[in-house]
Structure 1
């Protein structure tokens, strides 16, 4: 069992300045993660950058305690979890055509109430997952170490500032800004009837994502993309395209790259849907015993603690308050569902599904966050399972031809997704608090404040991005939109369950691929291999374009070389966290700087109604080789920062 310090006298925690700073950071990081998630289908945990910023700011304000800094990073980390819950699901309502834009009150209700439910549902799990039978919670442990070593936050702030400026400048120079360098370097050609395609995105943010998730995940996601782009697409073009007469006629005479993307978007990406579906079901099945045991012990501990004196470092939110809050949050959601379907016989089952699935999947999310960290937490797989189950029930209640069925399923999935994302993040933060002697209920209150604060700004951010860049499928106005891969997937699955047409053959093949990946991962597990093949990571690689996965792999490769340069055991988690801290901060800065600049660029685009409003003269536009050189230089700088001995 992990030991923890116990304070001998009250130490400042939930102070006014800590709450204000936490909310400011949460809102900024939520906006940045919303952009990143719509762009690349990934979000990153933000606790460590928030902790470093907090230590620097509170030092300028006269110094802060370790527990104040812990409160700041707790609330700020809601920025990634609320953003993930929202962008994985709510854009599906626009993609389905139910909304023309993002309605403020609805987004606030879904994100805010879903996030608050995530906090409530995770409270009874804290004791079992953190105290009695502790899980690793890698990012929580890393955040605790950063807080403990916080005497000198200056170097960390310099790293964040430098990399943030680099990420922002490259985004400004890219196609949506000054148009000095392209967004990607790619090319393809026909080899007989086969298609050969290579490409990489030139985003520094994706390089940073790869460094944070590591080489193992980088290899898995790239392998998934290789399966799609170097095996499935060439085979489909050579042997099956002629059988799809409509698609073949549409692609007659088109170049190789256009053909490859058309085959991927209409057929091959659904291999990833099937893989993700089977992965979500397997995740639930494989965790059934651990979750049942953890929930039982957590509820028992909560009942026992309510009747006696409990140490400050063990005090959760009181169970009776939680039950009152649960009712207060569920009633408006039931009214929201009633407003959609106008049938209490449907809206009440929708509410029940949401409550049951919410608690179950918060447990799943917490368990997975404890094992692999919040950045690798497969919340999208959890949400797909929710939408599938909800769709089956709604089909029975409303019929397969219901015009509103797909929307109703997405609404359930959106609340559950927000709850699951926040719940896993909450337990990660509570792990850090446990290691530094914090009071759990104060962290739980702070995360609730942070989550609701982020929900307040999500609709304006989404509307800004949708107007400037477009979301989902390419259009004449937005030929290169933000892909919103998870939301597109959710919309496809929900629509397919209610009278839509999906390539079920491809989905079935994808399910078989998922089963093979699961079997391979179980075999590696039985051999106690440190290299694993998480099925949902493979599914993301299959589902997303190859060019997005290449820089993620390269970032993971840099992380691997950093470990080798330090001569550490890559399986020693504590040593890895310490060594990677400068590189993690640099990567977080790249991501945040690029994402915030993407949002800033959107403002003049929307105001002027011109996508090229910031573009420089054509004579200052450079080709993709310049972009490759820039990305290589950033990768080299990331390696240099991460391998400085004094920085570690």
Structure 2
């Protein structure tokens, strides 16, 4: 370790600039992925690889400079998640016709900065005193330590990004050479059967990164929805729902299944998310108190003591000042919505309390299962429901029925605004602890990482509104329309709009189905606790299962297949189930880089395709003539070929190699 007289460069100008550039690019890519599939992926590892290559071209970079770059760039996933899970709900509700730049900047930027502040007191508890695994943080540290030869990693990233981008260009929103999905449905007697898979390479990459365990859980949730709940509802309950039955007249089996899922069955996932969020808070109660106490104790001890660079967090005094500075603009924003100080002040208080509480939950979950699996949407639902209940009391009868711009319930808009800030804070907070874990393992200075993440988060917030407007105009967001038949589903934002709107007199939520979903969630929790007591490596996280229940089946199938490929890579080396975490990270590094490239390439191509669509006003501006349109078989063959490439990339991994 370097002496104080010869510190290793960390927060250099070139590292900051490179981090900001990567953060902006990766946040745009994750915004598309999240609106499309309801998932975002952690970006620290590909950012670390790119950083090592770029800084080497600029004359070499230290491991701590590369760590700073991956820290700032990782904000691209966290800010994108916080924004796309919530803010599109304001458009879906009709409160906005497009995304207001200043408002999106305030929500995302200030929410992200609050996430950094709230996570600082948790570092000592979760990383130093009672360390959690933080799998992606450990993986990023391994990549940084192996940075002597970044060339092969850059080649893998570049090749897979090109493949992901070309497949996206060939799909329905581009050249229309291949379809976006391969599906089939039909009636087998009275049973409504539905099968299908999305043909997206990005989802295959997501599955490889999250692994087989999560892949099985999310697919099982979708099977419960599409192969059990939808057929049962169609056979037993559709006749007692004449309004829904009337909308299904003349539709084919696939359309019927989709309509039943959209109107009813996906709310099983809502119920499971609610019970899962409550259980998570209960199970983490001791860890949260411990984190708060240890953070305060460390701040008091550090006030009169000389701390090592590797133990220096942002000063507590400046954190408290920044907290006040950041909250005041949000208070004014809330006042602009409701126009009543006795409501806007409690809204700000709810935001602060819920923000710190859920940043703690998010950080703990990121430490257990990684940022890519962190169920921030479940946390946000709990926030919106809690905020809605408080707002219903504060607003009174007149306020509960008041409507804002576009006829949107005013209370629902206010609840979503609170949820959006908390969601951004929770996403950034969980990601911050992941980065601090990597920094802890390579000897970085915590306060420099915390400052860099704040810079990265605010940089991403600057471009969120233009990216969202571009995607909305090109593809549409939310429910399909004649102008946008293949709209980006924005599943979490649609859910937030439904929950908040239902609480304030909008479309009535199917509370019976939500209650059944909560019961399913309780059963899943019980199963997971039994597995935990037995020491099983296979676990059933309730929030992962709830996501599977809530999202369409065809999105979960490639995620499962990607996880299966990761498992097969381990079996190929004869080490499935027996690897320690560091060895597992080394084994999967080539495959993980390939998967990350697929995701990044497809997402960036989706944004590039949006530009000519918006400019021309035609959704099919890039489409080739019909004779060049191929069917589902070709699309499946392309997905199979990419699966082989992922497997071969991972199978060539050398466990003993340093890079």
TM-score normalised by length of structure 1: 0.98
Distance 2:430 2:218 in 1: 22
Q: Which of 56, 80, 83 in structure 2 is aligned with 1:83?
A: 80
Equivalent residues of 1:6, 1:437 under 8 A apart = no
Distance 1:519 1:541 in 2: 18
- Looking at structure 2, the residues matched to 602 and 37 of structure 1 have their Cα atoms a distance apart, in angstroms, of 16
Shift of 1:371: 1.2
The CA deviation at 1:645 is: 3.5
| Correspondences of 1:553-632 after superposition (within 5 Å) | 553-570=560-577, 572-632=580-640
Which of 448, 451, 462 is the aligned partner of 1:445?
451
Name the CA distance, whole Å, in 1 between partners of 2:412 and 2:342: 17
Mark the CA change 1:7 to 1:218 in structure 2 (over 3 Å): closer, same or farther: farther
Q: Is structure 2 residue 485 aligned with structure 1 residue 488? A: no
Question: Match of 2:406?
Answer: none
**Equivalent runs, 1:25-104 vs 2, <5 Å:** 25-104=22-101
1:430 aligns with 2:427: no
Partner of 2:648: 640
Query: For the residues of structure 2 that align with 1:449 and 1:126, how far apart are their CA atoms?
Result: 19
**SS of aligned partner of 2:622:** coil
Secondary structure of 2:237's aligned partner: helix
Q: Distance in 1 between matches of 2:242 and 2:85?
A: 33
The 1-side partners of 2:354 and 2:52 are apart by 38
* CA–CA distance in structure 2, aligned partners of residues 249 and 330 of structure 1: 48
Q: SS of the residue aligned with 1:197? A: strand
How many pairs does the alignment contain?
Answer: 644
2:527 aligned to which of 517, 520, 523? 520
Per the normalisation by structure 2, the TM-score is 0.97
1:106-145 matches, cutoff 5 A: 106-145=103-142
SS of aligned partner of 1:134: coil
Secondary structure in 2 aligned to 1:189?
strand
For 1:363 and 1:248, locate their aligned partners in 2 and report how far apart those are by CA, in whole Å: 44
Matched, 1:311 2:325: no
| Distance 1:426-1:16 versus aligned 2 partners, 3 A rule | same
Determine if contact 1:362/1:420 at 8 Å carries over to the other structure.
yes
Per-residue deviation, 1:616? 0.5
Quick one: distance in 1 between partners of 2:122 and 2:246? 56
Structure 2 counterpart SS, 1:42? coil
Which of residues 171, 175, 182 in structure 1 aligns to 2:179? 182
Residue pair 2:567, 2:576 contacting (<8 A) in 1 also: no
1:419 Cα deviation after fit: 0.4
Indicate the SS of the match to 2:638: helix
Q: For each residue in 1:29-80, what CA deviation from the matched residue of structure 2 results, as whole angstroms up to 9, or x when unmatched?
A: 0000000000111100000000000000000000000000000000000000
Distance in 2 (CA, whole Å) between partners of 1:81 and 1:413 is 15
The offset of 1:253, in angstroms, is 2.7
Whether contact under 8 Å (2:45, 2:139) holds in the other structure is: yes
Residue pair 2:2, 2:8 contacting (<8 A) in 1 also: no
1:313 is displaced (CA, Å) by: 1.1
The structural deviation recorded for 1:307 is: 1.8
Q: 1:458 aligns with which of 460, 464, 472?
A: 464
Contact 1:568 1:575 in 2 (8 A): no
CA deviation map 1:146-173 (0-9, x unaligned): 1011000000000000000000000000
Distance 1:519 1:616 in 2: 53
Which range is displaced more, 390-399 or 628-637?
Answer: 390-399
State the Cα distance separating 1:6 from its structure 2 match: 6.2
Equivalent position to 1:283, from 272, 280, 283: 280
Aligned to 1:529: 536
- Superposition map of 1:195-274 within 5 A: 195-274=192-271
Q: CA deviation at 1:344?
A: 0.2
- Gaps in structure 1 of 5+ consecutive residues: none
Gaps of 5+ in 2: 404-409
- DSSP-derived class of the 1:196 partner: strand
Measure the CA separation in 1 of the matches of 2:243 and 2:323: 51
Asked whether the equivalents of residues 125 and 299 of structure 1 are also in contact (C-alpha less than 8 Å), the reply is no
The farther-off stretch of 401-410 and 37-46 is 401-410
Q: Displacement, 1:324?
A: 1.0
Corresponding residue SS for 1:630: helix
Q: Deviations over 1:185-222 (max 9, x none)?
A: 00111112221110000000000000000000000000
Counterpart position of 2:350: 353
Partner Cα separation in structure 2 for residue 504 and residue 467 of structure 1: 34
Q: Deviations over 1:510-542 (max 9, x none)?
A: 111111111111111111111000111111111
Asked whether the equivalents of residues 306 and 319 of structure 1 are also in contact (C-alpha less than 8 Å), the reply is no
TM-fit CA distance, 1:457:
0.2
RMSD of aligned C-alpha atoms?
Answer: 1.0
Contact 1:570 1:576 in 2 (8 A): no
* 2:172 aligned counterpart, secondary structure: coil
Structure 1 window deviating more from structure 2 (185-194 vs 617-626): it is: 185-194
- How far did 1:497 drift? 1.0
C-alpha separation in 2, matches of 1:288 and 1:45: 26
Q: 2:355 aligns to what SS in structure 1? A: helix
Return the alpha-carbon distance in structure 1 between the equivalents of residues 257 and 431 of structure 2.
38
